[in-house]
Amino acid sequence: MARLQLLGTQAYPRNGEPVHLRLVDGDDHLLVDCGPNIVETFDALERPLTSVTDLFVTHSHADHALGVPYFLLGHFLTRAGAVADEPGEAVPPLTIRGPESALEAVDACLEAVTPGFDALAADASWTLEPTEPDDGFDVGDVSVTSLPADHVVPTQGLLFDGERRIAYTGDTTRSKALVDAVDRADVVIHESMYLESEADLARELKHGTAREAGRFAADVGADELYLVHVSDQYGDEHRVRFLEEAGEAFNGEVILPDRFDELSV
């Protein structure tokens, strides 16, 4: 059965890794966003970076995309035999998807952080495929569909259809289009950067609150709600408040996950 694993849960890398996740089904391995410590993260997972066959960049903000240059550098150096556990090991092709502006940011980031990398990239095997909302691709037996998030830059969430239907919103404010696109889900992984006391700031920055996450989960008929992308300003003493505010709008189970928690898909 396919597994979805949270590799980070936060909005800023001080109390933990920013939210990014992966979907694994057999040899197919999708990474959704790329945390700044992606190399150490994959060491902790005891998997090579090159086991990733698909990368999806939800949008171009640093907390989601800053690990991409190191991810690609690791990918290239492995192919070159420089960091491979077994030099010469086969490396699967890599497809990188996301909104066009996110893929442009990936290119710009590479130019800024790894000058000369373009020449190396000519030997690499990744391809860029810009996505629009409602575009689909498969990861093992799981159908993956991009979702129209509503954020300050073009952003797409993802819907995973396997034995369960799981929606990951990406960074987003309250959006009817996003609710309509998901339609129905068993599990929702929703950003909840703020509590209701910061609702005005959340709207200004086009982020979500715990209560909005609860309302979203109720709207799509979910049984479980995972709250991620929690702002750095909140400590452990606020955990109960996040659960309570989400629960004011949603009767199902509300979870503040830990890094490396897994869900079956």
3-state secondary structure labels for all residues of 147-214: EECCCCCCCEEEEEECCCEEEECCCCCCCHHHHHHHCCCCEEEEECCECHHHHHHHHHCCCCEHHHHH
**Interface with Zn ion, residue 75, by CB under 5 A:** no
Q: Which stretch binds Zn ion (CB under 5 A): 101-109, 164-172, 214-222, 234-242?
A: 164-172
Closer CB to Zn ion, 61 or 215, in the complex:
61
Report, in Å, the least distance between residue 63 CB and Zn ion: 4
Backbone angles phi, psi at 250, to 5 degrees: -145, 130
Q: How far apart are CA 201 and CA 112, in angstroms?
A: 31
Which residues is 129 bridged to in the sheet?
A: 97
Q: Write the interaction track for Zn ion spanning residues 170-209; mark x where CB under 5 A is met and - where it is not.
A: -x--------------------------------------
Closer CB to Zn ion, 164 or 229, in the complex:
229
**Interface with Zn ion, residue 28, by CB under 5 A:** no
Q: Which stretch binds Zn ion (CB under 5 A): 49-57, 74-82, 166-174, 194-202?
A: 166-174
Q: Are 31 and 22 in contact (CB under 8 A)?
A: yes
Report, in Å, the least distance between residue 123 CB and Zn ion: 32
CA atoms within 13 A on the CB side of 262: 9
Which residues is 253 bridged to in the sheet?
A: 224
Q: Are 100 and 141 in contact (CB under 8 A)?
A: no
Report, in Å, the least distance between residue 172 CB and Zn ion: 9
Q: Are 31 and 63 in contact (CB under 8 A)?
A: no
Total binding residues for Zn ion by CB under 5 A? 3
Report, in Å, the least distance between residue 246 CB and Zn ion: 18
Backbone angles phi, psi at 52, to 5 degrees: -75, 125
**Interface with Zn ion, residue 63, by CB under 5 A:** yes
Report, in Å, the least distance between residue 118 CB and Zn ion: 27
Q: Which stretch binds Zn ion (CB under 5 A): 43-51, 57-65, 86-94, 218-226?
A: 57-65
**Interface with Zn ion, residue 61, by CB under 5 A:** yes
Q: Burial-class residue 143 by CB neighbours within 10 Å (0-12, 13-18, 19+).
A: middle
**Interface with Zn ion, residue 150, by CB under 5 A:** no
Closer CB to Zn ion, 59 or 211, in the complex:
59
Closer CB to Zn ion, 150 or 171, in the complex:
171
Closer CB to Zn ion, 54 or 171, in the complex:
171
Q: Which residues bind Zn ion (CB under 5 A)?
A: 61, 63, 171
